[in-house]
Homo-oligomer: A and B are copies of this chain.
């Protein structure tokens, strides 16, 4: 009854030990780990095993390795970008593997996104508002591909969450919204639906500009309902085919 989730392999055990040292603060950012040969000695294993353990940690961006004299493995400073990239990978896979209905995903996405409206209306900057306007211009381009439209949509919503002026919130929201994009992409956007979406984007920017939380909330709610409608019509079209 001791090894229910514990790793049966040495390399996993060593990785866990070092991971604990990092997460619990016994190893600090920038600290250099002993060389692979030393770690092998300390743990009584071969260098190959130690290397496998270090690669596990590197895969989680917990450490970075440098070659050459005075190189080695260093506790990595985890940047927002790295963390977000990992969160997106994990979440995207999770959503892709668990038969999430479009409606559930959509509901979650907009619920999360709405959590920043109050702060965004209060703190929005001209720089970010202009960024959002630029994305709207991009979205209005005729003959824009679906991928480009979606990419611009992500950029728009990312600017929206950045308006809240809270980096922690931006990290979580940007990660969740981006991870759900593949599900959102099940939709094919007609010219008609694009125009509808762009109008709502304009309403969001206008609401932020005059710091009117309610109108931003309303626009997001309509956008959510409209997106779900689009998703359902896609599913219906598939079912009858």
Q: Which residues of A contact B (CB under 8 A)?
A: 11-12, 15, 19, 22-23, 25, 29, 48, 51-53, 55-62, 77-78, 80, 83, 86-87, 89-98, 100, 104-105, 107-109, 111-112, 114-116, 118-119, 164, 166-169, 171-173, 176, 180
A64 to nearest B CB, angstroms? 11
Contact of A60 among B89, B112, B116, B166 (CB under 8 A): B89
State whether B29 touches A97 (Cβ < 8 A).
Answer: yes
Decide: A62 near B166, CB < 8 A? Known: A48-B48, A55-B55, A112-B112: no
A124 to nearest B CB, angstroms? 15
A42 to nearest B CB, angstroms? 19
- A100 to chain B: which residues have CB within 8 Å? 167-168
State whether B57 touches A80 (Cβ < 8 A).
Answer: no
Known: A22-B93, A87-B87. 6 other contacts (CB 8 A): A78-B90, A100-B168, A107-B169, A108-B168, A112-B169, A112-B172
Cα–Cα, bound, A67→B38 (Å): 29
State whether A87 touches B89 (Cβ < 8 A).
Answer: no
State whether A60 touches B59 (Cβ < 8 A).
Answer: yes
Cα–Cα, bound, A21→B66 (Å): 28
- A58 to chain B: which residues have CB within 8 Å? 12, 56
16 residue pairs A–B, Cβ–Cβ below 8 Å = A23-B93, A48-B48, A52-B55, A55-B56, A56-B58, A60-B90, A61-B90, A77-B97, A78-B90, A78-B93, A86-B90, A87-B91, A108-B166, A111-B118, A168-B180, A172-B172
Cα–Cα, bound, A19→B105 (Å): 24
Contact of A164 among B56, B78, B111, B166 (CB under 8 A): B111
A174 to nearest B CB, angstroms? 12
Cα–Cα, bound, A25→B96 (Å): 9
State whether B104 touches A111 (Cβ < 8 A).
Answer: no
State whether B172 touches A104 (Cβ < 8 A).
Answer: no
